[in-house]
């Protein structure tokens, strides 16, 4: 019943989102639709406030507005969600490892207890059959302990591999959160971080620091005449060219959005 309610609710939200798109003459492509769906659903108050502010000024969202909102609100939310899931998986793996270690400790304690009891038994006079029984019990306990240790080793190795993979996924998501998806260079967030670090280092070392800002003139007109797909290719070409030009500690970042595609390489130079 709850599943049915959720389904009908999502359909109602989808219809309202399409109504907003038709009313404001917006694109119904998936990236645009996702924004309007989230707007109607109201799950992200900051996104709604940003859209309401733009609508109050312009009456509709431009391609640049959509691009900026998507990167600021939806992409950040997606990254946080993925980081949360990876973190939960790592916690589960650690919990599993702790459980296995506790089980191994309990097994070792049991084995030690068995050996202690056997030692006590050998302290008294015994016949051949009792000695055989004691030896068989020790052999069985030893084999069980070996089996459990082997199983523990295999499981721990598997968990180690799982955790290593999750750590790689964590690093990948982190790098994705700092990379512009269109041009594959650093994004605004990474630019801000590196700029602060570079300024601090330059001040501490009293060394020069240069910053070059490059903007593509008339790009909005180019986009309107040739389409956004061609415009995206141009941005990628510019980013690749700038990335191949820099060296050493320099880096390139995309600062603007679709209609303001600025790239900023930070260039370090040694003090002379």
What does the alpha-carbon distance between residue 71 and residue 177 come to, in Å, rounded to a whole number?
A: 10
Same domain, 150 and 233: no
The model's confidence at residue 243, banded by pLDDT at 50, 70 and 90, is: confident
Q: Which residue has the tokens 């790098």?
A: 175
Same domain, 200 and 152: no
The model's confidence at residue 192, banded by pLDDT at 50, 70 and 90, is: confident
What does the alpha-carbon distance between residue 258 and residue 182 come to, in Å, rounded to a whole number?
A: 10
| pLDDT, position 2 | 47
Same domain, 133 and 196: no
Kindly state the tokens that stand for 53.
């502010």
**Structure confidence by residue, pLDDT tens digits, 11-28:** 888 888 888 888 888 888
CATH number at residue 215: 3.30.70.270
Residue 34 lies in a domain: yes
Give me the sign of the Cα torsion angle 257, 258, 261, 264: positive
The model's confidence at residue 166, banded by pLDDT at 50, 70 and 90, is: confident
Choose one of 11, 30, 61: the last residue of a domain.
Answer: 61
Same domain, 192 and 170: no
Choose one of 155, 177, 199: the last residue of a domain.
Answer: 177
Section 91-112 average pLDDT: 71
Same domain, 109 and 44: no
The model's confidence at residue 82, banded by pLDDT at 50, 70 and 90, is: low
What is the domain count for the chain?
A: 3
Same domain, 112 and 165: yes
Give me the sign of the Cα torsion angle 31, 34, 38, 39: positive
Residue 74 lies in a domain: no
Residue 33 lies in a domain: yes
| pLDDT, position 270 | 41
What does the alpha-carbon distance between residue 223 and residue 168 come to, in Å, rounded to a whole number?
A: 37
What does the alpha-carbon distance between residue 186 and residue 205 come to, in Å, rounded to a whole number?
A: 25
Residue 71 lies in a domain: no
The model's confidence at residue 198, banded by pLDDT at 50, 70 and 90, is: confident
Q: According to the 3-state scheme, what is the secondary structure of the chain?
A: CHHHHHHHHHHHHHHHHHHHHHHCCCCCCHHHHHHHHHHHHCCCHHHHHHHHHHHHHHCCCCHHHHHHHHHHHHHHHHHHHHHHHHHHHHHHHHHHHHHHHHHHHHHHHHHHHHHHHHHHHHCCCCCHHHHHHHHHHHHHHHHHHHHHHHHHHHHHHHHHHHHHHHHHHHHHHHHHHCECCCCCCECHHHHHHHHHHHHHHHHHHCCCEEECCECCCCHHHHHHHHCHHHHHHHHHHHHHHHHHHCCCCCEEEECCCCCCCCEEEEEECCCC
- The pairing of beta strand 209-211 with beta strand 263-268: antiparallel
Same domain, 87 and 168: yes
Same domain, 160 and 115: yes
Residue 73 lies in a domain: no
Same domain, 243 and 210: yes
The whole domain housing 40 covers 2-61
Residue 212 lies in a domain: yes
Residue 168 lies in a domain: yes
Same domain, 83 and 50: no
Contact 39, 74 (CB under 8 A): no
Same domain, 7 and 39: yes
Residue 271 pLDDT more than 60?
Answer: no
Same domain, 216 and 192: yes
User: Which has the closest alpha carbon to 154: 100, 99, 112?
Assistant: 100
Choose one of 154, 177, 200: the last residue of a domain.
Answer: 177
**Structure confidence by residue, pLDDT tens digits, 136-150:** 777 777 777 777 777
* Whole-number percent of the chain with pLDDT over 70: 75
- Higher pLDDT, residue 110 or 254: 254
Residue 70 lies in a domain: no
């Amino acid at each position: 019943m709850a599943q049915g309610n959720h389904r009908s609710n999502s359909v109602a939200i989808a219809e309202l989102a399409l109504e907003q798109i038709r009313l404001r003459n917006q694109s119904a492509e998936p990236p645009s639709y996702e924004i309007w769906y989230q707007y109607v659903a109201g799950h992200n108050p900051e996104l709604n406030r940003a859209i309401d502010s733009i609508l109050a000024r312009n009456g509709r969202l431009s391609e640049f507005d959509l691009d900026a909102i998507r990167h600021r609100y939806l992409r950040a939310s997606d990254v946080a969600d993925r980081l949360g899931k990876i973190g939960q998986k790592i916690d589960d793996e650690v919990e599993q490892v702790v459980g296995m270690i506790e089980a191994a400790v309990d097994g070792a304690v049991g084995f030690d207890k068995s050996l202690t009891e056997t030692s006590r038994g050998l302290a008294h006079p015994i016949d051949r059959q009792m000695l055989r029984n004691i030896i068989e019990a020790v052999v069985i306990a030893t084999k069980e302990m070996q089996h459990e240790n082997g199983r523990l080793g295999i499981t721990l190795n598997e968990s180690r591999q799982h955790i290593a993979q999750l750590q790689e996924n964590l690093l990948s998501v982190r790098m994705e959160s700092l990379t512009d998806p269109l041009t594959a260079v650093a994004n605004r967030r990474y630019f801000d971080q590196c700029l602060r670090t570079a300024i601090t280092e330059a001040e501490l070392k009293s060394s020069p620091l240069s910053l070059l800002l490059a903007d593509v003139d008339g790009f909005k007109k180019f986009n309107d005449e040739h389409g956004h797909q061609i415009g995206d290719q141009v941005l990628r070409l510019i980013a690749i060219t700038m990335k191949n030009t820099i060296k050493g500690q320099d880096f390139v970042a995309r600062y603007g959005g679709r209609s303001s595609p600025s790239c900023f390489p930070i260039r370090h130079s040694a003090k002379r």
